[in-house]
Amino acid sequence: MIDTSRRTAFNADHEAFRDSVRKFFAKELTPHLDRWEEEGVVDRNFWRACGEAGLLCPNVSPDHGGLGLDFGYNAVIDEELAYAGSSAGITLQSDIVAPYIEAYGSDEQKAKYLPRMISGECITAIAMTEPGAGSDLQGIRTTAKRDGNHYVLNGSKTYITNGQNADLVIVVAKTDPDKGAKGTSLILVEAGTPGFAKGRNLDKIGQNSADTSELFFEDVRVPITNCLGEENKGFIYLMSQLPQERLGIAVSAMGGAQRAFDEAVNFVKDRKAFGKTVFDFQNTRFLLADLKAKLQVGWAHLDVCLTKHMKGELDAYEGAAAKLWHTELQWEICDAALQLHGGAGYMNEYPIARLWRDARVQRIYGGTSEIMKELIGRSL
């Protein structure tokens, strides 16, 4: 269990909410984790249960059916979901997609989608990555060309979280290819629109229950009113929202790292070798002590970032630094924790195996660690 007794980013209301989140996950998530991992997708009824429990898009304004809470409530959900060992895409809906629609959407778009996103009836995705464009979003090739009062979309996307379940996708497309990044727009496309096809559920090495898909757009016609915000302002919108996206990844990284550490401590205290527990060896205790110290630093830094973000003060460089440091720490702790399990760590029946697999992509999506270093370097 995540110890919050010395945390500084949360208040009593956050902690009461955390208790309800833990109880909800214990009942509605943990019993189904193995099945979802095998099936490669989370049940839609889990999404609706999350909606009923107030776990979807908690910081959306009451004007649009939300609770109007601060990002700290999102962080509580992110931490507890990661600690539970789940990669369900509810955090993407709450932390990334909903803020785009609330910040840039028209009144009609907000009224149409936000209440259903909050209830779990509408599952969303954002389609940025393409086969030839990952961390470099300026390289996208999907186009949305005007034809009368419609856009016609052509192109493909890949590695899209919630891709199989998605009812609504924010598609990053070039509306004016000659302008480069300044010709990028965000286009709303609903599932079932003619020409829009979902490809296979991709076979990943981790995060198996997070449905991740290829998406294809062949002469997909959508009304001009499906543009999210202003035309050709998409790249600016993406850059504006990235600090929160990257902070959310950092939050999840700390939850996963703490769970891996706790699994390792429990295992070595029970496992016997050479007549004593593995924990009794000095090497084990020293390694765990080092990891615990790093976790202490990590939680303290995360609280600083969360507090700044809730005040609207976290900049792009700080968001990149948080994403870089915490995901690298998660990988270090998960890998060390697996090693402490010995051969058992390589067995899927032990939670550490899933935690280790799921951690690897954290250093890739949302911008690779190398791209984070490049961004931070620009601030020097």
The answer to whether 271 touches 277, Cβ cutoff 8 Å, is yes
Q: Select which of 79, 102, 130, 245 is catalytic.
A: 245
Using the CB atoms, write b or e for 257-288: b if 16+ within 10 Å: bbbbbbbbbebbeeeeeeeeebbeeeebeebb
Query: Is the four-CA dihedral 170, 174, 179, 183 of positive or negative sign?
Result: negative
Query: What angle in degrees, to the nearest 10, is found between the helix axes of 71-83 and 12-28?
Result: 40
Q: Is 245 a catalytic residue?
A: yes
Residue with tokens 């990555």: 129
- Burial (Cβ within 10 Å: 0-12, 13-18, ≥19) of residue 331: buried
For 312, left (φ over 0), alpha (ψ -120 to 50), or beta?
Answer: left
Nearest to 32 by CA among 44, 21, 20, 16: 44
The pair of structure tokens assigned to 295 is 């976790």
Alpha helices in 190-233 (DSSP H): none
Query: Is the four-CA dihedral 129, 133, 136, 142 of positive or negative sign?
Result: negative
Beta-carbon contacts of 173 under 8 Å, excluding residues fewer than 6 positions away, are 140, 142, 143, 144, 151, 153, 155, 184, 185, 186, 187, 234
Nearest to 49 by CA among 17, 74, 27, 81: 27
Q: How far apart are CA 211 and CA 313, in angstroms?
A: 33
Q: How far apart are CA 96 and CA 245, in angstroms?
A: 6
Q: How far apart are CA 78 and CA 92, in angstroms?
A: 10
For 352, left (φ over 0), alpha (ψ -120 to 50), or beta?
Answer: alpha
- β-pair type (168-174, 124-127): parallel
Enumerate the active-site residues.
Answer: 245
